[in-house]
Amino acid sequence: MCSACGFPARPGHWTDAGLATPQDRLRARFHRAAILRRVLAGRGLTAHDDGATGLMLSTLGGAHVLVADADGLWDAVARLTGRPFDPLDPAFLDPPA
């Protein structure tokens, strides 16, 4: 268990499948966080890999929540924004200008 966040250590996430080295897994995590930042940018949210076990989701107002992985991110987005969030909705893939 991570002493900083309280998430239990796990053997791996499905998004890491096929990645052979720790460096490959870390690179993939940073890449996923960059994609999430682009998807969430138009909604006043940002996501960063926390460097240990999950993702830090933050609002422009300073609220933040730590989630274990992208699976838990969508519920956290809904809680922070106060409205449902469907990551497969085409409107969310092209943030408003």
Show me where the domains of the chain are located: 21-84
In this prediction, residue 85 carries a pLDDT of 80
Contact predicate 73/29, CB 8 Å: no
The CA-atom distances, in angstroms, between 47 and each of 21, 22, 78 are: 24, 21, 14
Mean pLDDT in the chain? Answer: 77
Residue 24 confidence (pLDDT) above 80: yes
Q: What is the mean pLDDT of residues 59-66?
A: 89
More confident residue, 16 or 10: 16
In this prediction, residue 93 carries a pLDDT of 59
